[in-house]
Structure 1
Amino acid sequence: MIIDLTGKTAIVTGSTAGIGFAIADGLAKAGARVVVTGRTQAAVDKAVAAIKAGTTAGSVEGIAADLASPEGAAALVRAVPQADILVNNLGIYGAKPLFDLEDDDWLKLFDVNVLSAARLSRHYAPGMKDRGWGRLIFISSESAQNIPVEMVHYGVSKAAMQALSRGYAKALAGTGVTSNAVLPGPTRTDNVGQFLADFARERGIPAEDAEARFLTENRPSTLIRRFATAEEVANLCVYVASPLSSATTGAALRVEGGIVEGIG
């Protein structure tokens, strides 16, 4: 199987680190023109340089903007008016007891995780439709189907992304444009590394035991018994972004190590 994205322009939101960076890197290695986005110019420049250092297949550029705001989205659209592939990866999370969640907690999660994706998809999808080809990818989470009690607002926002993806798939039926949600599970990233270090310290256990302990306590149904790597998530996304995935649309594609119970 050869994935060739030469001639395609791909935007990956929230792509200066973690899963977003791995997706941007994978798309560039497949030959795409990749637009990296992040909130600060320094983070964007660092990510662009790292991707360029690893491949000469595609081209890479960066846009610094807060895509959770209308102004940030407008800045991206001005810089890159059209795209063939839009990966809505931008997202935040945080633990807080359900009964302590205030309106601002909900609004912040939805502005970043949902409205940013809705706003950008609203702009880029019509152009894809007019050209007869395109890929919308929404990075949801296994938490959309397995709502975590410690961060219900996060799970709800990711369920909304899954619904948004399905809605776009139906609106774009028969156009050559596909829309899919990708559902990662616990994934090893820099942010998660700090989370696990804090987790180990709180429980008084060695740092190397934190991952297994977290899974035992919080995701006991995992079948791979480990965190995924960002590259493992990115591999699925690169395939979904490619012409090879043309019969896959409106789907919730799980790359979460079997955490979600059920065979659907």
Structure 2
Amino acid sequence: MDLQLVGKRALVTGSSSGLGEAIARRLAAEGAAVVVHGRDRARTEAVAKSIREDGGVAGIAIGDLATDTGAEEVRAAAVEDGPIDILVNNVGVYHPAARWGDTPPDAWAEVYNVNVISSVRMVQRLLPGMRERGWGRVIQISSVTGHRPSANQPHYAATNAARNNLAASLARELKHSGVTSNAVAAGGILTPATQDFLVGMGRAQGWGETWAEIEPKTVALAPNDVGRIAGPDEYANLVAFLAAPAAGYLNGTTLHIDGGAYDV
């Protein structure tokens, strides 16, 4: 399916690794010019270089979106070669072991600043141009924890609920503008960092030594009807569709992609 993204420019925040990198690669493969964002210049440049070697168009933007100064640096770099049509707010932090009893208010504020306010910073900087041109896509990457929280990571779950709410509110603000706003609530994402964490946890629990032995046990902790953890590319495919003209009637919604997750 031709997603008709040739001629569009996309900024994917937090795209120097993990899910953000997969999204940037997918958009570039569909013909969009992408801006890879990160705080580490070497890693960010490496991703952009790899995309270009694969035939895509990619630039970089370096900056810490947890600050207004960093967000402005990212905006300036992102629009250097042309306006941004697609904003994917992916940057975020999480702390898997955090619990109510050991997560102080400062930690809540820090996670909220990175996971929610960083998105607001970029929306406020890039949305005016989309409105003027009468076309654009704003996509928030959140998590199923936003609507199905557990006792772990309460601050992270709360930020994902806020991201979903932000997407819906922004759609109301943008009505009849040609710009859409949606969120993707992701289930488990099998990035290298996630796999390393789960292998360490599995070994500590006595579930085995290899990923093949440990994966079935980890899926049982958060079961779904597919029976596995999704790879980043599976989420990137959905984001690419939301970015396309074909998704123009999807607006103000949160799409859950979690393999049919259910409670045990």
- How big is each residue's C-alpha offset from its partner over 1:171-194, in whole Å with a ceiling of 9 and x where there is no partner? 001111000000110011011011
Q: Which residue of 1 aligns with 2:217?
A: 213
- How big is each residue's C-alpha offset from its partner over 1:33-79, in whole Å with a ceiling of 9 and x where there is no partner? 1000011111101111222232x2x4101112111221110101122
Q: Secondary structure at the match of 1:140?
A: strand
Q: Return the match for 2:180 from 175, 178, 183.
A: 178
Contact 2:167/2:183 (8 A) holds in 1: yes
Give the AA of the match of 1:258.
G
- Describe how 1:175-254 pairs up with structure 2 within 5 A: 175-206=177-208, 207=210, 208-217=212-221, 219-220=222-223, 222-254=224-256
Q: Which residue of 2 aligns with 1:62?
A: 60
Q: Which residue of 1 aligns with 2:4?
A: 4
- How big is each residue's C-alpha offset from its partner over 1:194-245, in whole Å with a ceiling of 9 and x where there is no partner? 111211121122232222212212x13x111100010000000000001010
Query: How far has the Cα of 1:24 moved from its partner?
Result: 0.2
Contact 1:146/1:260 (8 A) holds in 2: no
Query: How far has the Cα of 1:148 moved from its partner?
Result: 2.1
Contact 1:39/1:64 (8 A) holds in 2: yes
Q: Which residue of 1 aligns with 2:119?
A: 117
| Structure 1: stretches of 5+ with no match in the other structure | none
Give the AA of the match of 2:68.
P
- How big is each residue's C-alpha offset from its partner over 1:117-163, in whole Å with a ceiling of 9 and x where there is no partner? 01101111121111100000000111111102111111000100000
Between the aligned partners of 2:229 and 2:20, the Cα distance in structure 1 is: 16
Query: Could you list the runs of 4 or more consecutive aligned residues of structure 1 that deviate by over 6 angstroms after TM superposition?
Result: none
Contact 1:134/1:178 (8 A) holds in 2: yes
Q: Which residue of 2 aligns with 1:38?
A: 38
* 1:52 to 2:52 alignment: yes
Residues 79 and 10 (structure 1), Cα distance of their counterparts in 2 relative to 1, 3 Å cut: same
* 1:79 to 2:77 alignment: yes
Number of aligned positions between the proteins = 257
Contact 1:142/1:260 (8 A) holds in 2: no
Q: Which residue of 2 aligns with 1:90?
A: 91
Contact 1:36/1:63 (8 A) holds in 2: yes
Between the aligned partners of 1:258 and 1:50, the Cα distance in structure 2 is: 33
Give the AA of the match of 1:179.
S
Contact 1:145/1:260 (8 A) holds in 2: no
* 1:136 to 2:138 alignment: yes
| TM-score normalized by the length of structure 1 | 0.94
- How big is each residue's C-alpha offset from its partner over 1:62-110, in whole Å with a ceiling of 9 and x where there is no partner? 1121112211101011223431000000011112111222012101111
Q: Percent of counterpart pairs with the same letter? A: 37
| TM-score normalized by the length of structure 2 | 0.94
Between the aligned partners of 2:161 and 2:167, the Cα distance in structure 1 is: 10
Two-structure CA RMSD over aligned residues (Å): 1.2
Q: Secondary structure at the match of 1:86?
A: strand
